Every structure is written in C-alpha cells, then in structure tokens.
Amino acid sequence: MKIWTIANQKGGVGKTTTVASLAGAFVKRGQRVLMVDTDPHASLGYYLGIDCEQLPCSLYDLFLGHKSLTVDTVKTHIVPTNVQGLDLMPSTMALATLDRSLGHEEGMGLILKKALKLIEGEYDVVLIDCPPVLGVLMVNALAASEHIIVPVQTEFLAIKGLDRMVKTMLLMGRSKKINYSYTIVPTMYDKRTRAASAALKQLNEDYNEELWQEVIPVDTKFRDASLSHLPASHYAPSSRGVKAYNRLLDDLLAKDLCHVKIS
C-alpha cells in the first residue's frame, strides 16, 4: 500500500485539488484508493459532497480512541464517496482542538501510521490531505507517508521561504524508520503571465531533482469539478489539467521515490 501526503504550509496552493485529482487518476487505473483528510476545514469531504459534521465518526474520534484501535474500528471511520473505489476518512472541525487536547501525549505523532497499518490490505493507495499548519496532524501525516508531494502555486510570494518550510516540515514528521522523498509540483501555472514564468525559473534554480519538470496549468475545470463533487478525472477527463495530473502520476510512479532523501 502506497501512502503519499500532500502538504504545504500555505493555504490555497492546490493541495486538496491535487489529492482529489491524483485519487481520481489512481481509481481510473483500477486502484483502490483511500483519501485521508487531516484538515479541520474538511474541504475534501465538501468537495466530494459529504457533509462531514453529519457523520457519526471522523478522524477526530480515531485519535480519541487511539489506545484501542482494531481493523474494525479503523474501518468505521471510513466512508464511501460517489466514485466507486474511492473512500474517505473524513475530518471535522473538532480536529482543530487536537493540538491542545492531545498534542503533548507520548506517541501522538504515530497514530495515523498505526491506523493505516491495520487496514493495509484494503487499499492500494492512501493519499493524505493536510491543513496549512505545522501541528500534530501534519506530523501524523508525514510520519505515515513514504513520499510527500508539495504543491506550490507559481507565484513569487508562494515560493518565498519554501525551502526552509519544506525542510522543517519533513524534519517534524520524521521517524527513524522512514526515508522521506518529496516532489515539488508547480500548480495553477498561467503561461500568459510574467509572474508565473519568473516563479518557475526561480523554482528551477532552487531545486533540482525534487522539482517536477512540468506544471499543472490554471484550468477552470478544477473549480467546476468541485462544484459537481467529482474528481476532475471523472468530471472532465480530457481537460488540460487532468492530463497534467496524469503525467504527474506517471512520473511519480516511475521515479525511485526513495532516491531523494532528507538527512
């Protein structure tokens, strides 16, 4: 079971869109996919038309009951989506209180990893969406993952401080047994603007192997897809944006994901 986290400390850079788009692309390739939403805003659930506050269980309950996790209890925290083969472990607003209530307990950073280990046989791929905050939720996501995808909006302000942020993020979630690799994915690229090409040039200068050598273009179909509560792969399969995410997936799968390591 592959576990990838999609993270960036900035909001609005395309994290949730990347999770939904890669998840849809994996499903189209016949894979069983679980998305885990660790963002208290629960955007991923709303994106897929699921009102997470109305569900009986969420990731928050899984954290509260972490001392007695079994395969069955983990499964009760998962709901199907309107796309066959695509499930969601939903978030709720209550998750925002987790840092305060449980953040200092011993072993809190490894709960998600343990929970996912229990359901290893059920899915081929797990994609974890993150809040734009460095906290216990992101630590859990990073500690559970073998690869991190960092969507970065191709805009000057979005790439400022990226290097330090990525290093801090990876170190925070690091556990001794895991070798992280990460891929920076330029998003919302508008080739008509000078700002976008300048940002891309800067990313190329600052990063080497970690930078995906293509871009996710600005594509209004992503917004339309979220309005229709479908991954773009299912809403507009032949759109430019979906094709770009498919190429990203090809490249991620072809890459030796343990090659680039943070020491």
Ligand X SMILES: Nc1ncnc2c1ncn2[C@@H]1O[C@H](COP(=O)(O)OP(=O)(O)O)[C@@H](O)[C@H]1O
If the CB atoms of residues 13 and 162 are measured against Mg ion, the closer one turns out to be: 13
Q: Residue 127, Cβ neighbours under 10 Å: how many?
A: 26
CA distance 239 to 209: 27
Binding window for Mg ion (CB under 5 A); candidates: 16-24, 26-34, 148-156, 227-235: 16-24
- Least distance to ligand X, CB of residue 151, Å: 6
Q: Which of residues 200-239 bind ligand X (CB under 6 A)?
A: 216, 218-219, 222-223, 226
- Least distance to ligand X, CB of residue 132, Å: 6
- Number of residues this chain uses to bind Mg ion (CB under 5 A): 3
If the CB atoms of residues 240 and 261 are measured against ligand X, the closer one turns out to be: 240
Member of 9, 16, 18, 145 binding Mg ion (CB under 5 A): 16
If the CB atoms of residues 11 and 49 are measured against ligand X, the closer one turns out to be: 11
Is residue 15 within the footprint of Mg ion (CB under 5 A)? Answer: yes
Instruction: Provide the binding-site residues for ligand X, judged by CB under 6 A.
Output: 11-17, 43, 187-188, 216, 218-219, 222-223, 226, 241
